Amino acid sequence: MTHRLTGVSPDALDLSVEILGHKLPFPFFVAPMGAHRMVHEEGEVATARGAGMAGTLYCSSGASNMTLEQIAEATAGPKWFQLYFNQDVNVTKSLLRRAKNAGYSAIVLTADALGPGMPDQFRAMGAPFRSDMSFGNHDPARGGTGDFMAQKADLTPDDIKMIKDETGLPVIVKGILRAKDVDPIIAAGADAIQVSNHGGRQIDGVPGAISALPLVAKAVDGRVPVIMDSGIRRGIDVIRALSMGATCVAVGRPVMYGLGVGGAPGVKSVLETLATELRSDMLLTGARSVADLDPSYIAMTGPSAEMQEG
């Protein structure tokens, strides 16, 4: 729902956003994704470098092929570490200590995957994991311990407290789709909520993250930042998500495509192209800054229509 005659000029647009102590030049960052060496030999090192070149935040997947230390060294920008909680608490604590020592400024607790998923399309291709790849953070040849596949399934809000006690870092809980899950998670100390369905790769039939976002954001009610990932492809997607309650969004597959085509410069190009699109779309929407975006910019139907304003 565009606004007109708002006096917005291209030079006056503000795409920046602040989240957990970081000011980003635009309201999106690189979502955690595993196994980057499937598409580029330099793997996550190149992706992190590209994110740093674009000036935005990189979230390092716990399923990376490169080690979290190698990834941290590759970017001058801010970085978060996505944790897959291990059945062995000592393995989990080791990962947390390493992440803090490497300069990661927040921990993303993965709640939307309780073991490696196996989508139908990946199975149809014969599950083609390369034999020369490993999960770098657990590779004993590179200082790692434990089995990445041995993930803890019985997660509870108490696990949030454990992470905070071990690191003293902010904790983002990733994978929330139900509004009723919000209160106990925030009460346990979560510093941000990430609405996500894990890119649609874990369980069939769950709603798209964008569909769940408005009701989750309403339940959060401004107490902590709200992040959304899954399905961000164009600048207008960012506007939709921010208008529906997200503080910022995380971008996945487009970044991986950029990595495959052009390495670190390809990642930088994808992020900068998305920012250029967002700038144009903001101007045409009539919003001066991302902070101005609210439900009045979205025409909604269904359960979220009650949030429609103006």
- Per-position DSSP letters for 17-61, written without gaps between them: EEETTEEESSSEEEPP-S-GGGT-TTTHHHHHHHHHHHT--EEEP
Question: How many residues are recorded in the chain?
Answer: 310
Output the pLDDT for position 159: 97
Q: Is 3 a catalytic residue?
A: no
Q: Are strands 22-24 and 17-19 parallel, antiparallel or unpaired?
A: antiparallel
Output the pLDDT for position 24: 97
Q: How far apart are CA 213 and CA 239, in angstroms?
A: 13
Q: Tell me: the pLDDT tens digits for 54-88?
A: 999 999 999 999 999 999 999 999 999 999 999 99
Q: Tell me: the pLDDT tens digits for 233-263?
A: 999 999 999 999 999 999 999 999 999 999 9
- Which ranges of the chain have pLDDT less than 50? 308-310
Instruction: Give burial (CB, 10 Å; 0-12/13-18/19+) of 222.
Output: exposed
Output the pLDDT for position 133: 86
Output the pLDDT for position 306: 55
Output the pLDDT for position 171: 98
Among residues 36, 40, 138, 198, which one is catalytic? 198
H-type alpha helices, the chain = 44-54, 68-74, 89-101, 120-124, 158-167, 182-187, 209-220, 235-243, 253-285
Amino acid sitting at position 65 = N
Residue 182 and residue 111 in contact, taking contact as beta carbons nearer than 8 Å: no
Residue 179 and residue 215 in contact, taking contact as beta carbons nearer than 8 Å: yes
Output the pLDDT for position 301: 59
Please calculate the CA angle 108-110-115 and round it to the nearest 5 degrees: 150
Q: How many CB atoms lie within 10 A of CB 162?
A: 17
Output the pLDDT for position 128: 75
Tokens of 195: 């609405």
Q: How far apart are CA 54 and CA 49, in angstroms?
A: 9
Encode burial over 62-91: b for 16+ CB neighbours within 10 A, e otherwise: bbbbbbbbbbbebbebbbbbbbbbbeeeeb
79 - beta bridge partners?
A: 58
Output the pLDDT for position 206: 85
Please calculate the CA angle 267-268-272 and round it to the nearest 5 degrees: 120
Q: How far is CA 102 from CA 62, 67, 175, 274, in A?
A: 14, 11, 25, 29
